[in-house]
Amino acid sequence: MSNPTRRAFLRSMGLLTIGFSLPFSDAEDLPGSLKKTPNINAWLEVLASGKVRVFTGKIELGQGIRTAIAQMAAEELYLPMHQVEVIMADTERSPNETYTAGSASIENSAIAVRYAAATARATLLQRAAQQFETDIEKLTLKNGFVQYRKQRKSFSELLNGQQLSGEVKMPVSLKPKRMYELVGKAIHRSEIEKMVKAESWYVQDLRFPGMIHARISRPPSYDSRLEFLDEKALRKQFPGLQKVVVKGSFVGIMGADEFEVMQAQQWLKDHARWSVGTSLPAPKDLVTYLKSLPGETKSITKRGTLSSNATWKARYIKPYLMHGSIGPSCAVAWYQDGKLQIWTHSQGVYPLREALHKMLDLPLELIHVQGVAGSGCYGHNGADDVAAEAALLAMTVPGIPVRLQWSREEEHAWEPYGSAMVFEVEARLDTQGRIQEWNYELWSDTHSTRPGGNPENLLPARYLEKPFLPKQNLEVNGGMVRNSEPYYALPNLAVTAHRFSGPLRVSALRSLGGYGNVFAIECFMDELAEKARKDPFEFRLMHLEDTRAIAVVEKLREILSKEKNAPGEGVGIGFARYKNTAAYCAVAARVRVIQRSMQVIKLWAVIDAGEIINRDGIINQTEGGMIQSASWTIKEQVKFDTRQPITRDWYSYPIFRMSEIPEVAVHVIDQPNEKPLGAGEAVQGPTAAALANAYYQASGGRLRELPLLLSSYREQSQKEN
């Protein structure tokens, strides 16, 4: 076989990789996380059993990334799924991929695994060709074996006790997509069975021999300081306590009996004395208050020329929201032989380790952080904080594993919330009903105070003898302006962001600023459509240029064309491309409005996330995202008084109950020849807008303030008065 013929054959089989120095196109940049970690053995290893173990720095948060990564590795290595094991988020074994966030796990981690597996396949085939003394094109690859005529060797036999080495270098020939057997299919997640059967799966389920339980005595407000604690009286009341730890204003209690430790925590709440702390504002008009706070103003986008002749103006409001994780945060820490090991549901085991290294003054190499799934996440909740607290306590009882479990009240009161936001937008239409000018301003706190190697972002670090106090930073950041520029062709456009530092602790909540920005933009698009006397679909389509964006909107219109509304019902829509670079998503909502009540009957979504890896996974993520967004949009709001947040249970912070969950339908547009796009946070913003727009269609009333249930009460009250 001539070189050109062999080259064409190997490329068609997906076997041509870095092992061959044949001339092709210029080398491309390494994709995803390979840029930082190009070594093959950082991503996978062959076990003696013949299975392949894959490593990822991402953690399973319910998004199905474990299964998707296994699919991609198995596909490239011609393996069945059961022969691929995935190790996630472990500082001693997995690559450092910082955070599992931003819907970027497929784009960065899974793609890295795909290319590493394709490179590994080529290396194994090269070895087989040498050992069988034949050409690569005469080999077959299946189920972990390379076969030549009647001879065959497993991957582990080919390596003969060695491991794969070397780096992934471009170009890499991937398996041809026409030969895919796993990618793009609906592969069920194996861990679902464990969840359904209530088997041990979550970090909350971990138990170790000799383990003790811990609780934290919390101050009455963010910056209160401990003034007096009678440890003698505490121990007299609870003689079974094993350890009482007081480090400045950080107070922890530990014991073998979890219930006794919980009772001691409650006793301290009533008997420890704390300083009053700084009062929270609790203003009657939160919007005016937030807009009055000092901060930074930054122009995000400016294009064309704006006049002062706006056709239409509106203001939209998003309150503080909490993650509302169903399982309150939990961690286990074990300090033995000078080394600290932590089991945590943190989204970033490496950044957490860096922050702990500074807080504890313990060398990095002596801290091992292992990711374990948590029961609910949705962003930066209390996972890092509880891990840091468990670490502090474990180091006072060497050799004993310490389990620290937050209560529902602690989770609701102390987690970092999603920031409140204010949006003001005005636009001018031309005589044909097209948008000629768009002026958009937003006010927001930050949307990320993740540890990031900074101990001041860990809750307990603020209360130590030498506290790590949060740094005042009023810089406008990407999280708050996410999706603030409409994904429409607008000739004259300005987007301005105002950053404030609000009264509550805040950080990353699913989709960050994208949820609020898309809510405001898409509600305003509906208002402008009515002003222009255009159908909401037609109005959006006349301002879209991206053919994939047009396709999802048109597909949603096609789906709704077969639906009929009953009296008192309305249908609204919303559209966005998440981050303006990730998945395209259009959502429709049907609601029924009776007096002040709003019932969500059905939600539809059309999503284009590029190449589909696991069809079930993307549908599940989209369905769950719509339901969660509907709960945020209609019911949820963090409230606070002059001392602390007061929404500390499910009664004061209601979320959707099972009886309120609407019917959901998701249509996925597969783009097998496009790169995979982040999809886990694409649906939140469009869902919020679709619900508000549906309310208007059903009732004739515009609701511009979230949650809509509260807003509808205000609207009704205004009508009555």
616 burial type by CB count under 10 A (0-12 exposed, 13-18 middle, 19+ buried): middle
**Residue 311: predicted pLDDT:** 87
Question: Which residues are CB-contacts of 625 (< 8 A; sequence separation ≥ 6)?
Answer: 510, 680, 681, 682, 683, 684, 687
Topology adopted by domain 204-276+323-414: Aldehyde Oxidoreductase; domain 4 (3.30.365)
Q: pLDDT band for position 719 (50/70/90)?
A: low
- Average pLDDT score over residue span 307-328: 94
**Residue 301: predicted pLDDT:** 97
**Residue 9: predicted pLDDT:** 35
Strand arrangement, sheet containing 145-148? 140-142, 145-148, 151-154
Q: Give how far the C-alpha of residue 238 lies from the chain's centroid of Cα atoms, to the nearest Å.
A: 41
Contact yes or no for 343/330 (Cβ under 8 A): no
**Which amino acid is located at 339 in the chain?**
K
In words, the CATH class of domain 3-183 is alpha beta
Query: What is the Cα–Cα distance from 69 to 85, expressed in whole angstroms?
Result: 10
- Average pLDDT score over residue span 404-412: 97
Query: What is the Cα–Cα distance from 668 to 663, expressed in whole angstroms?
Result: 17
At 675, list the tokens.
């790169």
Question: Which residues are CB-contacts of 579 (< 8 A; sequence separation ≥ 6)?
Answer: 102, 103, 482, 483, 514, 678
Query: What is the Cα–Cα distance from 552 to 607, expressed in whole angstroms?
Result: 7
Strands (E), 256-306: 273-274, 295-303
Biggest CA pair distance of the chain = 91
Q: What pLDDT digit, counting tens, does each position of 48-78 carry?
A: 998 999 999 999 988 889 999 999 999 999 9
Please give the CATH number for the structural domain made up of 421-447+482-720: 3.30.365.10
Looking at mean pLDDT, say which of 42-51, 207-216, 473-482 comes out highest.
207-216
Contact yes or no for 603/634 (Cβ under 8 A): no
- DSSP assignment of 469-520 equals PPPP-----HHHHTT-S-SS--SEEEEEEEEE--SS-B--BTTTHHHHHHHH
Contact yes or no for 267/234 (Cβ under 8 A): yes
Q: Give how far the C-alpha of residue 18 lies from the chain's centroid of Cα atoms, to the nearest Å.
A: 34
**Residue 463: predicted pLDDT:** 98
**Residue 422: predicted pLDDT:** 98
- Average pLDDT score over residue span 149-157: 93
**Residue 255: predicted pLDDT:** 98
- Reference 180, options 312, 41, 76; nearest CA is 76
Strand arrangement, sheet containing 44-46? 44-46, 52-56, 84-88
**Residue 27: predicted pLDDT:** 42
Q: pLDDT band for position 319 (50/70/90)?
A: very high
Beta-carbon count within 10 A of 609 CB: 29
**Where do you find CATH 3.30.365.10 in the chain?**
3-183, 204-276+323-414, 421-447+482-720
**Residue 425: predicted pLDDT:** 98
Q: What pLDDT digit, counting tens, does each position of 177-197 carry?
A: 999 999 999 998 888 888 888
At 581, list the tokens.
């670079």
Q: What are phi and psi of 262, to 5 degrees?
A: -65, -40
Query: What is the Cα–Cα distance from 358 to 367, expressed in whole angstroms?
Result: 11
Q: What are phi and psi of 82, to 5 degrees?
A: -70, -10
Q: pLDDT band for position 148 (50/70/90)?
A: very high
**Residue 286: predicted pLDDT:** 87
Q: Give how far the C-alpha of residue 180 lies from the chain's centroid of Cα atoms, to the nearest Å.
A: 28
Query: What is the Cα–Cα distance from 353 to 556, expressed in whole angstroms?
Result: 45
Q: What pLDDT digit, counting tens, does each position of 79-97 carry?
A: 999 999 999 999 999 999 9
Contact yes or no for 472/501 (Cβ under 8 A): yes
For residue 661, pLDDT over 80 is answered with: yes
**Residue 613: predicted pLDDT:** 94
**Residue 713: predicted pLDDT:** 64
Q: Are strands 339-344 and 330-336 parallel, antiparallel or unpaired?
A: antiparallel
Beta-carbon count within 10 A of 571 CB: 21
**Residue 61: predicted pLDDT:** 86
**Residue 714: predicted pLDDT:** 64
Looking at mean pLDDT, say which of 16-20, 100-104, 532-536 comes out highest.
532-536
What is the rounded average pLDDT for all residues in the chain?
A: 92
At 36, list the tokens.
């930082």
Q: What pLDDT digit, counting tens, does each position of 516-565 carry?
A: 999 999 999 999 999 999 999 999 999 999 999 999 999 999 999 999 88
Q: How far is CA 673 from CA 27, 29, 260, in A?
A: 20, 19, 59
Q: How far is CA 98 from CA 29, 482, 639, in A?
A: 20, 20, 32
Strands (E), 501-620: 569-577, 584-594, 597-608
Q: What pLDDT digit, counting tens, does each position of 666-706 carry?
A: 999 999 999 999 899 999 999 999 999 999 999 999 999 99
**Residue 716: predicted pLDDT:** 57
- DSSP assignment of 383-410 equals HHHHHHHHHHHHTTSTT--EEEE--HHH
Contact yes or no for 201/327 (Cβ under 8 A): no
Q: What pLDDT digit, counting tens, does each position of 456-495 carry?
A: 999 999 999 999 998 888 899 999 999 999 999 999 999 9
Q: pLDDT band for position 627 (50/70/90)?
A: very high
Which DSSP category does 127 fall into?
Answer: H
Q: How far is CA 251 from CA 216, 217, 629, in A?
A: 6, 5, 37
Q: pLDDT band for position 13 (50/70/90)?
A: very low
Q: What pLDDT digit, counting tens, does each position of 358-367 carry?
A: 999 999 999 9
Sign of the dihedral defined by the CA atoms of residues 532, 695, 482, 538, in that order: negative
